[in-house]
A = this chain, B = another copy of it.
Amino acid sequence: MSKKEQQSNAKRNMLRIIPLGGLGEIGKNMTVFEYGDDILIVDTGIMFPESDMLGIDYIIPDFKYLMDKRDRVKGIVITHGHEDHTGAIHHVVEQINAPIYATPLTKGLLEVKLARGGQSGKVKVNEVKAGDTVQIGAFKVEFCHVCHSIPDCVALGITTPAGLVVHTGDYKLDHTPVDNWPTDYAKLAEFAGRGVLAMLGDSTNADRAGWTPSERVIEPAFDKVFREAQGRILVATFASLISRIQQVGEAALRHGRKMAFVGTSMRENARMAKQLGYLSLPDELLVPIDEALKLPVHEVVLMCTGSQGEPSSIVGRLATGTNRQFDLLPTDTVVLSSHPIPGNEESVSRTINKLFERGAHVIYDPVEAVHVSGHASQEEMKFMLNLIKPKYVIPVHGELRHLHQHAAIAESLGYADENVAIVQNGQVIEFRGGKMFMGERLPGGYVFVDGASVGDIGPAVMRERDALSREGFVLVNINVNRQSGKLLRDPEIITRGFVYRQDDDFATETRRQIEKTLAESNGDLQHQLEMRLRDHFLNATKRKPMIFVMINKN
């Protein structure tokens, strides 16, 4: 056997787990499981760009690694229906043709997405139920119900020839969830009974002490809002926060208001969740928005998007007075029922201030407890570790700092350092002979999606956008006599994002600098002009705009 064949054979008899892509958070949007010839993908999500990722629409995991192995992908399992776990599905199915597995609500949300991308027929989405077991290549995948802030979430028990690995997915241990369906502790205990080689565990709230409150805790806050509101109530949240929609509907029932959904995503998701039985609200409660707007103001609650201050959402447009169908009324109460995603804090604050400015009453956490996290806190994470008893702990779903806190939690339970793996995206984790080893680190990371371009935008373009955004540019167009090398006419100067005082002295000096350079130049005239003008502008303005000189010799 050649050395390469030996290596390849060795690779065949081990389990490899690779958290892929995701920005800041590790293993959040996609994880690859590999055994022998078989590959299993868990989740296909997107991330939203950070505020200095200028002009980027969204970010998808870099799954280049799979490109020459696409035939080996036996299946794609999606743990739940949130964007950061489903949003890249159309990018993945464009490249990889493998069956998808998801629980009914997740399947419904995926199908809406695939239909929008014209990929409905292209790929099969198999419905699985919590409790089901599916053999996907070398992987026996067991679906175990867990609570989160959307119904029908699952953790995964993945049995491989190397051992049983549990992936918690996003979870909280809610004893009184909105859909009355608590986490399946028995199944988790059963995994433990069989012996768990490794656990990949949600670390989102690893720096929060205690136990995340049940989704139910927001009900008194909503009751207070409904009791005190004099006019309409508008509740803003994510369109995929189906449990929250259920809770607002129940509050509306208790307080005798009708409920309407505003905006396409909210309406479509609610319709689909209701059809599949995940939204349990009587038909008499629900009215179309046109009808809701005709009802007396104290008889209606509007459910809409915009809890992150997105300018194009319903609440974003109401805040700036640019919503078409209706305007804010001074008697309106607007409830923001979500926390800002990191990076959105400023736009959420600004939206709240604008809503106040337009006369609305605005309710947000911490003013009232109208939101609660969907992720486990420290005590739940301890519970999960003690319940599942994995040999190895791999903190995922969180920034590096959260993984470190999750590791500290594991260590407080007696885990040894070497049994806890804090890794970055792309790090291959190998299991052979019942032991964990660090493999290679895959290059790449995440891929920017910007208009029609997927992956063309790299660090160089981002640096250019950053420089332009800070300093603007100056464009100098000159026409020079081919023979004499002298200016044929006054230079033409265009600036954007840079203040260029068009006063006579400055323009005269600019022309003088150009003429001087033309006269003295020996060599790269364009470079010399750009350097000379850079100094000239820096002296005059203390700024360094990008400078471009176009030389037309005629």
A544 to B, closest residue via Cβ:
B451
Which residues of B lie under 8 Å from residue A457 when comparing CB positions? Answer: 499
Segment touching B, from A145-153, A162-170, A194-202, A344-352: A344-352
Task: Tell me the complex Cα distance, A362–B349, Å.
Answer: 28
Segment touching B, from A3-11, A184-192, A506-514, A545-553: A545-553
Within 8 A of B (CB), among A428-482: 450-453, 456-457, 461, 464-473, 475, 477, 479
Partner of A499, one of B52, B352, B456, B554: B456
Task: Tell me the complex Cα distance, A350–B501, Å.
Answer: 38
Partner of A55, one of B343, B450, B469, B554: B469
Which residues of B lie under 8 Å from residue A352 when comparing CB positions? Answer: 399-401
- A124 CB within 8 Å of chain B: no
Partner of A353, one of B400, B465, B543: B400
Segment touching B, from A69-77, A128-136, A242-250, A489-497: A489-497
Q: In the complex the two chains form, is A471's CB within 8 Å of B554's CB? A: no
Which residues of B lie under 8 Å from residue A356 when comparing CB positions? Answer: 400-401, 404
Which residues of B lie under 8 Å from residue A353 when comparing CB positions? Answer: 24, 399-401
Q: How many chain copies?
A: 2
Could you list 6 further interchain pairs (A-B, Cβ under 8 angstroms) beyond the known A345-B345, A465-B469?
Answer: A55-B497, A461-B499, A464-B472, A473-B473, A473-B496, A479-B554
- A294 CB within 8 Å of chain B: no
Task: Tell me the complex Cα distance, A136–B470, Å.
Answer: 42
Q: In the complex the two chains form, is B399's CB within 8 Å of A366's CB? A: no
Residue picked from A208, A461, A492, most chain B C-beta under 10 Å? A461
Partner of A472, one of B362, B465, B488, B501: B465
Interface size of A by CB at 8 A reads 66
Which residues of B lie under 8 Å from residue A468 when comparing CB positions? Answer: 465, 468-469, 472-473, 496-497
Smallest beta-carbon distance A99→chain B, Å: 31
Which residues of B lie under 8 Å from residue A349 when comparing CB positions? Answer: 24, 342, 399, 401
* A366-B207, A366-B209 known; A552+B477 contact, CB < 8 A: yes
Q: In the complex the two chains form, is B362's CB within 8 Å of A401's CB? A: yes
- A325 CB within 8 Å of chain B: no
- A324 CB within 8 Å of chain B: no
- A367 CB within 8 Å of chain B: yes
